[in-house]
Amino acid sequence: MQDKLAPIKTALDLLLKRLQQLESRVSQLEGRDHLAAESPIVESFEPATVDTSVAATPAVAPSESFTVAHVLGLIGRTFLILCGAFLLRSLTDTGTMPLALGVALGLTYAAVWLFAADRGAGSGRPLSAVLFGLASVVIAYPLIWEATTKFDLLDADAATALLAVFSISMFTVAWRRNLEIFAWFVSAAALVTDFTILLTYRNWGSGAALALLVGGASLWFAHSRGWMALRWPVAVIVNVVPLMIVSVSLRPTVPGIPEGPSVPLAVAVLVAYLVVYLGSFSLLMLKLGQRPGGFEFVQSAVCLVVGLTSLAAVVRGIHGATEILGWGMLFAGAASYGVSFAFVDRRLGMGRRFFYYTSLGLILVIWGLRIVANDTTAILVLSAIGIAAALAGRTNDRHTLRAHSAAYVTAAAAIAGLGAQAVETLLLPITGTGSSVAVSDVAVAAAAVTCYIVVAPLRQIESVRWPRRIPAVILAVVALVSLASVGLGWAFEIVGRGSAVDPAWAAAIRTAILSLSAIILAGLGSRRHLLELIWLVYPLLVVTGVKLVFEDLRHGKPLALFVSFAFLGVALIVAPRLLRRPAPPPGGLGG
């Protein structure tokens, strides 16, 4: 039996010996191989969540020294590499080498050093790799520029395509080997060269495409490598593209100046701009679970303002295109709300993603409705949406919906010109019969009052923090101003009866309504402990007093002044006493 097991034992001993040898070799290779392994996927857009020791900084293998002598040697080697490029340029300039062959050899020379950069980073020498890559950038991009402008070997579109090939190759090396500084060099060189060719030859389509390529690459570098800072300067430059497109597209034709892009091309570029940024944000947040940070909110706002404004300006001359854009924005806004509540809230929970998509939906709905509807219709629809949002926010205890209710009512008031109308009605001299009250003004006032009643917190008053009171404060201000404006408008119509209103009695009526408003606010605020109303009492009394001094005394007649002083005096006595009255225990429905 022992003889039969002897061969098996020998084989096992041999296998164990081989495994130990393999383990030793793997350990040696791991010691020499690059330690800048690809960093794990970043779990957030926020710089604070990125492991900068892994993702943002290339790991340095023990084989590369950073002594002064070593660094100076690498810089000297870079100069020698550039010497080779200048030698090729000299042979081309003297006619020893054909121009096309010289340019081809120069680009090949740049590609060789890009390959060397990839190999250097793979062998654990990141500084050497960065300098190899920098040499490749310095050789390739100026050569493409000169081949287009000076040598006339390439047209603008071909040059931009060649720029794209080199940029993609260099970005691939930077991402693969985790060379962030190299990505900065490539981004700067690509954008500068691209914009120079774009401004010289007006190749709007290909030039904009390359800029958007660099912008999209910076976003995905932030996701996969944690290179957060690169996105900001790239986005600032790329955001210029839609502004350039719309400015030259709408410019009148001038003899001797190249025409701008056609309308279809301008629309395509603007849509691509929105897709690159907003589409990437949606994919990263919904599919890959990223959380939006400051960059996402700022850049999304810029995309909406710059991109959609430019798009609306470009398609304005096309019959029906503006309406299509407006309905598309309404559909996108409704989709954003649907994504927020049906997907983000249920699967990912409340947070920045939810706030991002609800804010996007709010902006798109208001903007789209402003495009497709006239002023009166937009005011009525926004008021109705505001009331619906307030009711839904109270039913489901959603502070976001309460805030959106205030935003919709405020937007309706802005479209109705409530601010200018209130100043005219409450402060400016009456020059005629007074301002007439429109249906939209009454709708805004009714919506503001209704939404405030629904939104105002009535339960556990002391525990409600001030940020949660902001929607109620906004609605209270809008309701007060709109009610005072509508009330004064009706009063002037009744007093004037189609004729000019006496300035003295106009001032008295204003003082009376403002004084009564202060008393009502004090009574309701103290009764229900509604701090939003209490905060408005003393500012309103101050405004009324200042108005009495500068308007009533200037235009007043004895009987009119009697009315003004009587109402303001009563308000100054009653309102503070109402505010000092102890409030009953809070009750009612919470907001």
Same domain? For 210 and 311 the reply is no
Separation CA 238–CA 194 (nearest Å): 11
Separation CA 163–CA 210 (nearest Å): 8
Judged by average pLDDT, the poorest of 19-33, 70-84, 425-439, 506-520 is 19-33
Query: Is 122 a residue whose pLDDT tops 70?
Result: yes
Q: Which two tokens stand for residue 344?
A: 């983000």
Same domain? For 299 and 193 the reply is no
Q: Are 400 and 393 in contact (CB under 8 A)?
A: yes
Of 500, 507, 517, which Cα lies nearest the Cα of 559? 507
For residue 30, what pLDDT is reported?
44
Domain assignment present for residue 22? The answer is no
Same domain? For 210 and 129 the reply is yes
Query: Is 1 a residue whose pLDDT tops 50?
Result: no
- Domain hosting 213: range is 37-238
Separation CA 315–CA 389 (nearest Å): 32
For residue 40, what pLDDT is reported?
40
Domain assignment present for residue 378? The answer is no
For residue 585, what pLDDT is reported?
52
Query: Is 462 a residue whose pLDDT tops 80?
Result: no
Helices in 177-290 by DSSP H: which ranges? 180-201, 204-225, 231-238, 240-249, 263-274, 280-282
Same domain? For 322 and 420 the reply is no
For residue 158, what pLDDT is reported?
96
Query: Is 138 a residue whose pLDDT tops 80?
Result: yes
Judged by average pLDDT, the poorest of 75-79, 310-314, 498-502 is 498-502
Same domain? For 89 and 177 the reply is yes
Same domain? For 197 and 87 the reply is yes
Q: Which two tokens stand for residue 248?
A: 């030259």
Separation CA 243–CA 250 (nearest Å): 11
Domain assignment present for residue 309? The answer is yes
- Separation in Å, CA 478 to CA 482, 483, 533: 6, 8, 12
Domain assignment present for residue 383? The answer is no
For residue 434, what pLDDT is reported?
52
Q: Which two tokens stand for residue 454?
A: 């629904």
Domain assignment present for residue 575? The answer is yes
Judged by average pLDDT, the poorest of 91-105, 199-213, 217-231, 487-501 is 487-501
For residue 35, what pLDDT is reported?
39
Same domain? For 229 and 291 the reply is no
Domain assignment present for residue 407? The answer is no
More confident residue, 98 or 45: 98
pLDDT digits (tens, 9 = 90+) for 147-200: 999 999 999 999 999 999 999 999 999 999 999 999 999 999 999 999 999 999
More confident residue, 193 or 12: 193
Domain boundary among the residues 190, 206, 238 is at 238
Domain assignment present for residue 588? The answer is no
Q: Residue 267: is it exposed, middle or buried by C-beta count within 10 angstroms (0-12/13-18/19+)?
A: buried
For residue 131, what pLDDT is reported?
96
For the chain, give the number of residues.
591
For residue 59, what pLDDT is reported?
44
Same domain? For 156 and 226 the reply is yes
Q: Are 514 and 547 in contact (CB under 8 A)?
A: yes
Separation CA 535–CA 519 (nearest Å): 13
Query: Is 103 a residue whose pLDDT tops 50?
Result: yes
Query: Is 356 a residue whose pLDDT tops 80?
Result: yes
Domain boundary among the residues 319, 354, 372 is at 372
Same domain? For 211 and 274 the reply is no
pLDDT digits (tens, 9 = 90+) for 196-248: 999 999 999 999 999 999 999 999 999 999 999 999 999 999 999 999 998 88
Helices in 397-438 by DSSP H: which ranges? 399-415, 418-426
For residue 287, what pLDDT is reported?
86
Domain assignment present for residue 404? The answer is no
Q: Are 12 and 151 in contact (CB under 8 A)?
A: no
Q: Are 445 and 489 in contact (CB under 8 A)?
A: no
Domain count, the chain: 3
Domain boundary among the residues 340, 372, 404 is at 372
Q: Residue 507: which pLDDT band, with cuts at 50, 70 and 90? A: confident
Query: Is 265 a residue whose pLDDT tops 80?
Result: yes
Same domain? For 469 and 529 the reply is yes
Average pLDDT over every residue of 16-31: 54
Separation CA 414–CA 441 (nearest Å): 11
Same domain? For 335 and 269 the reply is yes
Same domain? For 123 and 190 the reply is yes
